[in-house]
Every structure is written in C-alpha cells, then in structure tokens.
Structure 1
Amino acid sequence: MRTTPFKFFVFHRELEMSCRLLQAGVSAILIDLEHRGKAQRQDGFDTEINVHSVDDLRRLRDETDKTIMCRISGPDASDSELSSVIENGADEIIIPMVRRPAEVERIIKRTDGHCRITVMIETVDGASQAGSLSDLSIDNIYVGLNDLHIQRGTRSIFAPLADGLLEKIRRRCANVGFGFGGLTLPNLGTPVPSMHLYAEMARLDCSFTFLRRSFYRDVSGRDLGEELANMKAAIQAMQARPPLVIAEDFLAMKKLISQGRV
C-alpha cells in the first residue's frame, strides 16, 4: 500500500479559485501553455483546451508559495520559454506530446535541476518508449488518455485501461511517480463511474491525478476541503482492498469498457 499521500492537481481557471483550491487541499495548480495547434489536433473531440500565459503564472506565484506546475508548449519549447517559466515561479514543468527520450533529455539539460519534470505519454511513440523515458532524470509520468485515444483510433477514450496498454506502461515506469486520467467526486463521474477510476488508480499504485472539468460543477455549493478529503479517503479505501476484491473490481471495469458501454 502506498505510504506517501495521493496528490490532486488542477488546471488554473481564475486566481481566487486556484488559491481557494490550494488552501482546501489541492497539491498543485497547473498553468497550461500548450495550445499551439491543439484545437486542430483535437477537433471533433470533447477535450479541454486552456489558453494561459506566463503572466498567469507570474500572477499566481505572487499570490501563493504553494506548488505551481506549468505545461510547456510542447517538447520543442524554446530555451527562452523554459527560462521564462522557471524565472516566473514554476516548481515543475510538464512536457506534453513526448515521442522520444531525446526530446526530454534536451529539456532536462536546459532546466538544469531548477524544477521537477513530468513527462506526458499521450502518443503511440511515447507509449513504446515508456521504459526509456522513465530511466531519465524525471519525477513523474502521466498518461494522457485524450490524445492517445485520438492517435490510436479506439472506440473509447478508456480503452488503455481495458486492453492492457496502461498496465504495460505502468510496469515499465515503476521507478517514477505515475498518474493517468482524472477524477471528480467518488459517487459521480460519467461515462465511467468515478469509483472504477479510483479503483484502477489504486491498483496501479498511482501517486497523483488531475481533477476533471466536471469537478468544478460537482463541487458547486459544497465545502471544497470536505470534498477533497472525501476523495483522498476514497483512494485510501481502494488501496486497502484485499487482492480478491481488487481483481473483481478490475474485471468489472474491464467488462464495462470492453462492451463498448463507455
């Protein structure tokens, strides 16, 4: 069972809300600079596209000393972009759409230990290089289901949970922090009920995930601290399941996805 606390990250929306979420128990806020060409790449799919700037990063840093993450524009982000996000307060950078270890090695060299690094596996090439990527000087790997779904042409965005790809990637990345997908409140979530995702994150020994877009709607009018505590408790309960229950829960989720019901 994992002994370190499970972490929830969330994309920045507005300054006041981000600060409230950090105070309520969210581990980090994400400033998102990856929007070049994204609308075309994800055209026709229900995805989240943020349009943040380094100014958003700077303003948030002025308001909090808690962890701020920054998803850079891409694995080809310029040296000036990397310098700017570090100088303006990013504690960790996320590299999207990685295909080759060399892309990450360049960024590791440029950042020179000034921030933590998370690599996003959301391409078929990146998935095939998971082991080599995890052997680099990085902190986390996150599997992005949206772009992986688009690249693979699968019926369901959740196909990697049922067809073995996600577990294969996890086995190759056992030496780093790992996360995938996103969560909202335990008793909600669609098209896959959240509890299936909580269960799979526990089974794969994940250490973090992102809060879904629906989280904002689902917590409307509720106490943020209480709901985040409930989410952490749900993860802990899933981590404490006996092996037989873990196996049964996995089969139930796999059946739901494989039958094309989500």
Structure 2
Amino acid sequence: MKLFLFTTDEAMAREAQDAGVDSIIVDWEFRGKEERQEGHNLEINRDTLGDLQRLVKACSIPVTVRVNALSDASRDEIDLAIGNGAHIIMLPMARSALDVENFLKMVDSRARTFIQVETVSLAESVKDIRDLPWDYAYIGLNDLSVQRKSLSIWEAVLDGMIERICRTLQGRVFGFG
C-alpha cells in the first residue's frame, strides 16, 4: 500500500514523511471543480507553484502534483510541475483510455504517473487502461458518487463496482477512498 497526503504545510509534510507517508500531494486541480461538485461540500484546493517549490525543498519523499483534467493547457501544466521538481503527476477526471494515453504521452516518462478513476465512463472501461504504463491508480469515491448521483460515496462499494475495478486492476498499484 502507498500512502499519499494532500498538504501544503511544510511541518505536516515532514511529520508525515517521518510517519511513513510515501508522497505529499500538491493540488492544482480547480478548473470546473466548483461546478462539478456544487452542493456536495467537498474540498477544493488552490495550491500554487510556490507550494510545490517549497515542499520539494522541504521533503525527501516524492512530491506529487495533481494537475487539472486534460485540456489544451495540460502539457504546459505538466511541464511546469515536472520542471519544478514534481516526481509524480496525477491526472483527475480521465474519461477514457485515450485520455490516459494522451496524459502518458505528455508526461513522457519524465515522472511517475497516477491515474484517478473517478468518472463513470473510465470506471466502466477500466479494462482498457489496465495494461497501459501508468504507475499508480486511485478510485475516487467522491467524484464517482457525484457523477452517479448516489446518496452515499459507499454506493459504488455496495453495488460491486469497486470490486469489479479491483479485480480488473489486480496486480497493479491502486487504492480507493
């Protein structure tokens, strides 16, 4: 199991590092997030380039940057993150294997890659990304439940969707929550 922590607090990041956390996440995902999560009381971060630079200097563990969903700005955002020390790039809201393939091409083996499975379309077609060369995946129950119009984030666990995804990704490094 790999432990990733969202924080821009240097003291907390160092404490997490000492406690065995594997990576600190700097969260640049904000485009379209307010509209997508409206009425759901979910966290929206506005982490900065300065946060990334500070944490890269403060931590000896890898720093991950969660970029925005794929767009015309993705290549520049990925280049900026890697150029400023990000070790892992996380892609949110991928909708298809093509999205994942395009993301992997943009990263171009310059950093490890982290795919969030949090759209219904990607969750239902996860077999199409199983053998792609990403490093980590995470099944995001919050956005998945918003897309599914679920009453609870745990509905995808209870109806078997998460179990199907886990069986499909068996042998790969992934988690959910």
Q: TM tier, shorter chain?
A: over 0.9
Consecutive unaligned residues of structure 2, counting only runs of 5 or more, are none
Matched, 1:38 2:33: yes
> 8 Å contact 1:75–1:104 — kept in the other structure?
no
Write out the 4+ residue segments of structure 1 that deviate beyond 4 Å after TM superposition. Answer: none
> 8 Å contact 1:134–1:175 — kept in the other structure?
no
> 8 Å contact 1:91–1:115 — kept in the other structure?
yes
Matched, 1:61 2:56: yes
Give the alignment of 1:64-83 within 5 angstroms.
Answer: 64-76=59-71, 77-83=73-79
The whole-number CA distance in structure 2 between the counterparts of 1:106 and 1:175 is 23
| TM-score, normalised via structure 2 length | 0.94
> 8 Å contact 1:12–1:29 — kept in the other structure?
yes
> 8 Å contact 2:13–2:59 — kept in the other structure?
no
Matched, 1:137 2:133: yes
The whole-number CA distance in structure 2 between the counterparts of 1:112 and 1:71 is 16
> 8 Å contact 2:5–2:24 — kept in the other structure?
yes
**Paired residue for 1:104?**
100
Give the alignment of 1:113-262 within 5 angstroms.
Answer: 113-181=109-177
**Paired residue for 2:80?**
84
Matched, 1:52 2:47: yes
| TM-score, normalised via structure 1 length | 0.64
Give the alignment of 1:1-20 within 5 angstroms.
Answer: 6-20=1-15
> 8 Å contact 2:92–2:117 — kept in the other structure?
yes
**Paired residue for 1:244?**
none
> 8 Å contact 1:134–1:141 — kept in the other structure?
no
> Match for 1:123: what amino acid?
T
User: Which structure has more helix as a fraction of its residues?
Assistant: 1
% identity of equivalent residues: 38
Number of aligned residues: 176
Consecutive unaligned residues of structure 1, counting only runs of 5 or more, are 1-5, 182-262
CA deviation string 1:53-112 (max 9, x = no partner): 122111111122211111111122521111110111111111000101111111211221
